[in-house]
A and B are shown apart, each in its own frame.
Chain A
Amino acid sequence: MPQRPIQFWFRGRLTEVRDVSPQRTVLQWLREDAHATGSKEGCGEGDCGACTVVIGSRDDTARGGVRLDAVNSCIQLLPTLDGKALFTVEDLAQPEHLHPVQQAMVETHASQCGFCTPGFVMSLWADYEMRDAAPSREEVKTCLSGNLCRCTGYRPIIDAAQRAWQQPACKMDRTPLRATLDTLAAMPALDYTSHGQRFIAPRSLAALAQHCETMPQARLLAGSTDIGLWVTKQLRQLGDILYLGAVDELKTITHTEAYIEIGAGASLSAAFAVLVQEDPHWQELAERFASLPVRNAGTLGGNVANGSPIGDSMPALIALDSQIVLQKGARVRSLALEDFYLAYQKTALEAGEFVRAVRVPRHREDAAFRTWKVSKRAEQDISAVCAGFSLHIEDGMVREVRLAFGGMAATPKRAAQAEAALRGQPFSEITVRAAMAALAQDFQPLDDMRASAAYRLQVAQNLVWRLWLECSPDTGQPAPARLQDLQAVQS
């Protein structure tokens, strides 16, 4: 049977691509093959946003049955577009008039050198399409968290996001698009080989499990927010690729009495939405975790499976005693997430096995949960230290405590000594100080460009102190304010 090409909606019609390498990026295809040069390469690692495009995908909960997400085209592989729609900056304007977000950008003088501008326009357009009323300034900043501008200082771009709503509405009619996406969804699953490399996008868990077993050497790919960099930065050959993004069952999020099960294919945006609803103490991490385009593309399963010592979701998940659900063939097993990590970039995942879900225990009224990230920049940075804490106090005594950290060791790791210093002890300044001191036995962090070892350790200790300040029953003081909640003094 001849293989079918990669098929997606582009420039208002169905586009078919054959004969490109499965690891060609969307941006390379746009700029070099389609000669669509509006999207720019600024960094090749999904950090600057000059390449931002918008991906349309089927979603019955969204208007017109299609959701639109801004993503970084420089780290997305072209075959992942199969069954989706691709929009770039060239799609927005009519010959004679600009789209409201473009017009607003002109009116607020929001471009200077203009190189980052197409990316900003696409982030703003996705936001414009996906909401029903003008965004607040905080919402705009979230929308723009994945776009860097070196010229303007951002103020006029933030203004433009709001000003676009002062013009007559100009929303895309998604009906014909949905019809095409439905047609594509009825096609057989993509199994595409070119340049000696195979790209398979199974549609069901069963098919995925089967492929994993028969091709244990295949590279599992989800949001591509890390693996994309292996391609663009390390110039690695990925070999055969098994893509998880077409398995709808992997994207489900279910609530039980005991836990929330987040499918490994659920985006970070979707996962954080549920987690924040469960416990608002997730909010601060949710806002600081990478950027919106990375959260749209990246998955919680990917963050966990990748096992990076600086992955930001794991400290909180470990603090909550989350389980990781693994599948190999028909066998499904679960284990404590903390036991999944064996050594630097080494996990308990067996050959042919894949991460199916993460189970996060439900919020407990009797336990406090906190997670904090510390980095040079508030948005879209990699942690110097990331902490997740869970604390159960009963009658002034620490019944249970879990202190987990990222950035402190070769894996995300609990602070065993510090926990021991607290567990079963009165929750008091003395025991908290003892726990802080014990952290020095738990961790020997590294010096690098993000922070010194001394800083990492001190901040880890200070975050335990903050836990005390926030959860102490008897200090009589309100918890210290968080920087992001402050406003300038009134005179």
Chain B
Amino acid sequence: MSSVVGKAHPHESASLHVRGSATYIDDLREQHGTLHAAFGLSTCAHGRVRTLDLDAVSRSPGVVAVLTARDIPGVNDCGPILHDDPILADGLVQFYGQPIFLVLAESHDAARRAARLAKVDYEVLPAILDTAAAIAAESWVLPPVSMEHGDAAAALVASPHRLKGAARLGGQEHFYLEGQIAYALPREQECIHVHSSTQHPTEMQHTIAKTLGWHSHQVSVECRRMGGAFGGKESQSAQIACAAALGTWKTGRPVKLRLDRDDDMTLTGKRHDFNAQWEVGFDTEGRILGLRIMLASRCGFSADLSGPVNDRALCHIDNCYYLDAVSVRSLRCKTHTVSNTAFRGFGGPQGMFFIEYILDDIARHLGLDPLSVRQLNLYGDPAGEVRNTTPYGMKVEDNIAPALIAELAASSDYTARRAAIDAFNASSPVIKRGLALTPLKFGISFNATLYNQAAALVHVYADGTVLVSQGGTEMGQGLYTKIRQIVAHELGLSIGQVRLTATDTSRVPNTSATAASSGADLNGKAAQDAARKVKQRLVALFAEKHGVAPESVVFGDDYVCSGEIRQRFAELVGAAYAARIQLWDSGFYATPKIHWNKDTLQGRPFFYFSYGAACAEVAIDTLTGESRVLRVDILHDVGKSLNPAIDIGQIEGGFIQGMGWLTTEELWFRPDGPQQGRNMTHAPSTYKIPSAGDCPPVLNVRLFDNANVEDTIHKSKAVGEPPLMLAFSVFFALRDAASAAAGRAVPLQAPATAEAILRAIGGLP
């Protein structure tokens, strides 16, 4: 019997995507009387509003209402954890571009025009824009946190070699192609239904209810699909959803709030940029003996998800490497900039970047190949010495990094190409090549144990077709496709017999964000659980009807069978309906084994780890600093793949997105002047994500042959976030090339823009 799990089914919406008929929120037919909203934004990074003159806004053509913080009936806050995130700033402005009022107008254009007409007078206060200024002022959104494992100070003293270092790692704009949007519709009896482009419908529901002073059962939130999210629509969609709902509450009319690209990039948070300083001790072979490191992140004006983001950075400071004695101090800097948030990897990539930088430093200091130093430091017990406990006290029990790296080093021909590149560089003064192979290990589960739960509904209709509702959202990652495969597999159906409904808080309640790469792990298991409950009843009916043992009944190819006895699934379902058997059920899943003490930063936060590695070859032009990626080989672990096409799509897409983060994607805030603190990289004309020409001409991607050792859905592994970190290979290949140009280890900063590369090689005064 053929299984639909493990097959390369196309994305369930692929045919709609290419026809242009996949419906995003702005494509929904607008209800009569729909109003369009736009935020009015602050033009000051830090200040008190002395006067807010909205006369011209109100009088602008097409304007129906202008709302401020005073119009909010409930709590003026959309913060996911702390309550420091106003929907509309109330007197105090904390970043340039912060929403201070909301215009409701008859058209999108009219709302945008009016929003620019406010006259605001500020008492300007001193603005803190970066981590250095925040550290100097001890300006934190959350108190500093330390994680200790072993005696780092003693280990450093005892180390034969010691190095100090520092590096800067830039932030990243999500640049989902579909900007933030919400469309709120009034319903009877003081209820509101909101179409929200969000990874977290439940949190939108709760936050809207809180804003309006309502209860959860008055608000429903729906999301069929997003045009990309990447973490940017986990908490940050709340401000948009709450504002639209507020408009509907105030006017009784449908209200759509769609941010144009500039507003979106100005007022929504990004990946945290980090600064790190460290001292590392190591032996003559390059084995790390002790590490002391300080990680400072720019959190922006509010806490948002910065606590867990920074915790995850701490929990990934080890990457694939055993750290016997380590001391990490994490500073969560409060700055007068937009509030930074979740972004694919959620702090993990930032933690991992620095340990890769440190290993690169060690190798260059000792004159060793960085790959051999990386391999030497991997978790494992090659010489009987047990090196498998993470700094946060979790045992690494599924370590495949050594085997995976060895396989990739062979298939990418690392050693021979290393020699060929060195030879090329010796005779090429202007163009230099670089090569690097870097691994990744990423912990799967939300650090906070409670979020690791999910529920689903499986409806089998009397005609034998199946509708699945579940709590995960579709942002392009293929969750709906995988859930469809899982349920079709369970019920032995062809994939066309199973559909998914739009994710809606009125169908599945109390859901977690579709985040932390957990969508298929959690919701897949829940959907499987629900399908199995229905299936068991069908098995019992079939066994009774045909006088066979229940264990002998199998489902496949749209039939239910036992030996030679076959019955069409739809026919059996019809019979079950007639026999008054329940044909729908709910499923639930809670990840086992995990626990986490957020005060001691110890526990087993992760159910398992995902692994991968990439080898990148690059070239740089030492006259301009421009670079090009020439070849990339990737070997990545997704356990037993639920859908290899979708998984490879996540791997390649994550890799390229990570490459953008570390190369061309640079956020630039005005450091001074009247527009101090303004993000000047607020559109694709100024913020450069990779384009088709940046796709490496040689890109070899393979799945590592593996099955999850833990009992995950069909032994698969999460794939959403981990591949982003494959892009470290590009950064460290660039550093390799730049070091070849300079004849020494260069302090390349991320993103490695052309300017950063030219500066690193000493080509700038």
Q: Identify the A interface with B (CB < 8 A).
A: 28, 31-32, 35, 37-45, 47-48, 50, 88-90, 92-93, 98, 102-103, 105-107, 109, 111-118, 121, 137, 140-141, 144-145, 147-158, 233, 235, 374-382, 384, 448-452, 454-455, 458-459, 462-463, 465-466, 469, 480-484, 486-491
Contact = CB atoms under 8 A, between A and B. Distances in A.
Interface string B18-42: 1111111011010000000000000
Contact of B476 (A112, A156, A459, A481): A112
A41 B24 CA distance: 11
Most buried by B among A153, A378, A380: A153
Interface string B666-681: 1010000000000011
B417 A491 contact: yes
A109 B20 contact: no
A491 B228 CA distance: 39
20 contacts: A35-B29, A40-B26, A42-B178, A45-B685, A115-B178, A115-B227, A148-B175, A150-B176, A152-B649, A152-B656, A378-B691, A379-B694, A382-B686, A451-B755, A452-B755, A455-B758, A463-B623, A480-B429, A483-B620, A483-B627
A157 B690 CA distance: 14
Interface in B431-449: 431, 433
Nearest to A231: B109
B226 to A, nearest CB: 6
Please indicate which of the listed interface residues B14, B27, B29, B759 has the most CB atoms of chain A within 10 Å of its own CB: B14
Contact of B686 (A102, A449, A482): A449
Contacts of A376: 664, 666, 688, 753-754
B228 to A, nearest CB: 4
Most buried by B among A102, A155, A233, A482: A155
B416 A112 contact: no
B619 A483 contact: yes
B574 to A, nearest CB: 30
Nearest to B667: A449
Given A44-B260, A489-B420, A145 B17 contact: no
B666 A114 contact: no
B20 A118 contact: yes
B617 A462 contact: no
Contacts of A490: 420
Contacts of B743: none
A47 B683 contact: yes
Determine the interface band of chain B, counting residues with CB < 8 A from chain A: 35 or more
Contact of A148 (B17, B681, B689): B689
Interface string B681-713: 101111011111111011100000000000000
Contacts of B29: 35
Interface stretch (B5-13, B75-83, B148-156, B279-287): B5-13
B126 interface: no
A43 B476 contact: no
Given A148-B177, A488-B631, A117 B431 contact: no
Contacts of A90: 19-21
B653 A454 contact: no
A484 B697 CA distance: 10
B764 A458 contact: yes
B664 A156 contact: no
B177 A45 contact: no
A65 B686 CA distance: 39
Closest 6 CB pairs of A and B: A38-B20, A113-B476, A115-B227, A114-B17, A153-B656, A89-B20
A150 B657 contact: yes
Nearest to B701: A155
A105 B10 CA distance: 10
Given A88-B20, A486-B431, A150 B693 contact: no
A19 B226 CA distance: 34
B633 to A, nearest CB: 10
Contacts of A43: 261, 683-685
B413 interface: yes
Contacts of A35: 29
Interface string B471-496: 00001111000000000000000000
Contact of A93 (B19, B476, B765): B19
Contacts of B225: 113-114
A293 to B, nearest CB: 13
A109 B9 CA distance: 9
Given A113-B476, A151-B476, A489-B421, A98 B18 contact: yes
A150 B665 CA distance: 12
Contact of B475 (A106, A113, A155, A448): A113
A40 B429 contact: no
A38 B19 contact: yes
Interface in B448-479: 475-478
B116 A153 contact: no
Given A452-B755, A458-B764, A483-B431, A113 B177 contact: yes
Contact of B18 (A121, A458, A459, A484): A121
Contacts of B621: 480, 482-483
Contact of A483 (B21, B179, B628, B646): B628
A87 to B, nearest CB: 12
Contacts of A121: 18, 20
Contacts of B424: 489
Nearest to A374: B624
A378 B663 CA distance: 12
Highest count of chain A CB atoms <10 Å: which of B107, B478, B621: B621
Contact of A45 (B18, B229, B683): B683
B262 interface: yes
Given A38-B20, A109-B10, A145-B693, 11 more contacts: A45-B683, A89-B18, A141-B693, A153-B654, A155-B695, A235-B112, A235-B113, A466-B623, A480-B429, A486-B431, A487-B630
A113 B764 contact: no
Given A88-B20, A111-B17, A40 B626 contact: no
Contact of B26 (A37, A107, A141, A459): A37
Most buried by B among A448, A481, A491: A491
B656 A384 contact: no
B430 interface: yes
A487 B754 contact: no
Task: Determine which residue in B112, B626, B681, B691 has the highest number of CB atoms from chain A within 10 A of its CB, and name it.
Answer: B691
A137 B697 contact: yes
B21 A48 contact: no
A491 B763 contact: no
The winner among B29, B108, B649, B656 for most chain A CB atoms within 10 A is: B649
B752 to A, nearest CB: 11
B177 A150 contact: yes
A488 B617 contact: yes
Interface string B603-628: 00000000000000101110111111
B691 A377 contact: yes
B552 interface: no
B666 to A, nearest CB: 7
Contacts of B646: 109
B645 interface: yes
Nearest to B646: A109
B565 interface: no
Contacts of A41: 26, 260
A458 B758 contact: yes
A448 B624 contact: no
Nearest to B433: A489
B228 A115 contact: yes
B731 interface: no
B189 interface: no
Contacts of A233: 262, 683
A484 B631 CA distance: 13
B655 interface: yes
B171 to A, nearest CB: 14
A144 B477 CA distance: 22
Interface centre among B620, B627, B680, B692 (most CB of A within 10 A): B692
B597 interface: no
B124 interface: no
Contact of B417 (A102, A112, A489): A489
